[in-house]
């Protein structure tokens, strides 16, 4: 079964979206959603908003595709203006997101660049706040994942690049964003089931996700007195360009997602509502939490 037109229609979640096996489909990193088969569902036709983020101003990293794209679409349909961070090579996907946001009558600010650079992160926050007229929500989604089966083959260069993209950037962005954020502002990070159940071939990636989990718990306690909440979402296997562009070996793509109790990968659209709730005032008593969206595997 393919994507659904009504996010509220009751149906069997195990068959709601495409199930393995999939085609092998190698891409060069960071990959494009438009080249995936089947194409991921980011909520382009299914997500319906209710104004829960009316007037809010959000910066989302990795907003061109995958989870970040789904969050950007959902936020716009909930009434938020959105600044989008992505790599310049991902511009084709990002332009589609800009069009979808503008179709909702919201402001879309494309801000391409590489978040593994500290100076870019600082400028990214300042540019987003300036062009949006402030900053209420920071969503950290962008990440680097490259599977390596043996530590002997894991280079220092890759190990460092993964940490710079996944952890250092998170630190730089949060540090730069907090002075702009009013009481009621929210930061939402993206950790992973890998923080709790690490795969052998994702040694560096899993380590960064464990760091993000701890970072979220610690920062939440530090800034709660300012009225700012910090939470995280922990996805399981999700059908995004991260997977066929090196996040998984190609022989792992056909059965991708079959190992979870639901026997399929999640779609980006299935995560967006969690980010919406954590960004909205509905979750006003929630901070320092990690929400799992894993298809049945436990965060333990």
Residues 6+ apart with CB under 8 A from 246: 29, 31, 145, 146, 147
Angle at 102 between CA 134 and CA 34, to 5 degrees: 110
Note if 17 is an active site residue: no
Annotated catalytic residue, options 17, 86, 196, 205: 205
Please answer whether residues 42 and 67 qualify as being in contact, where contact means their C-beta atoms are separated by less than 8 angstroms. no
Residues in the chain, total = 300
**Helical ranges in the chain per DSSP H:** 66-77, 91-103, 118-132, 156-163, 169-177, 203-223, 272-279
Please answer whether residues 215 and 170 qualify as being in contact, where contact means their C-beta atoms are separated by less than 8 angstroms. yes
DSSP 240: S
Partnered with residue 231 across adjacent β-strands are 188
DSSP 245: I
Integer angstrom CA distances of residue 232 from 17, 151, 189, 297: 24, 28, 4, 17
The distance in angstroms from the start CA to the end CA of the chain is 31
* Three-state secondary-structure class, residue 292: strand
The two counts, helices (H) then strands (E), for the chain are: 7, 7
Partnered with residue 233 across adjacent β-strands are 190, 291
Rg value, the chain, Cα: 18
To 10 degrees, what angle do helices 169-177 and 203-223 make? Answer: 20
What the block records as the tokens of 85 is 């961070």
Catalytic residues, which ones?
205
């Amino acid at each position: 079964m393919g994507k659904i037109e009504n996010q509220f229609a009751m149906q069997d979640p195990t068959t709601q979206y495409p199930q393995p096996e999939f085609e092998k489909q190698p891409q060069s990193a960071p990959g494009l959603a438009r080249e995936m088969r089947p194409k991921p569902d980011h909520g382009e036709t299914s997500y319906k908003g209710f104004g829960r983020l009316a007037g809010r101003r959000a910066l989302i990293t990795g907003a061109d595709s995958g989870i970040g794209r789904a969050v950007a679409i959902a936020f716009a349909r909930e009434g938020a203006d959105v600044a989008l961070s992505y790599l310049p090579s991902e511009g084709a996907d990002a332009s589609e997101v800009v069009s979808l946001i503008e179709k909702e009558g919201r402001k879309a600010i494309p801000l391409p660049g590489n978040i593994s650079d500290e100076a870019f992160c600082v400028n990214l926050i300042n540019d987003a706040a300036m062009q949006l007229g402030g900053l209420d929500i920071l969503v950290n989604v962008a990440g680097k994942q490259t599977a390596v089966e043996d530590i002997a083959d894991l280079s220092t260069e890759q190990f460092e690049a993964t940490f710079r993209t996944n952890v250092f950037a998170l630190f730089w962005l949060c540090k730069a964003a907090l002075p702009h954020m009013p009481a009621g502002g929210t930061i939402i990070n993206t950790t992973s089931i890998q923080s709790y159940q690490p795969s052998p071939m994702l040694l560096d990636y899993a380590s960064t996700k464990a760091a993000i989990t701890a970072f979220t718990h610690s920062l939440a306690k530090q800034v709660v007195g300012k009225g700012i909440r910090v939470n995280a979402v922990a996805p399981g296997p999700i059908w995004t360009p991260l997977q066929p562009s090196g996040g998984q070996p190609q022989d792992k793509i056909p059965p991708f997602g079959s190992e979870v109790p639901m026997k399929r990968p999640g779609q980006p659209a299935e995560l967006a509502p969690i980010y919406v709730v954590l960004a909205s005032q509905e979750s006003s008593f929630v901070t320092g939490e990690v929400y799992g969206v894993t298809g049945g595997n436990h965060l333990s």
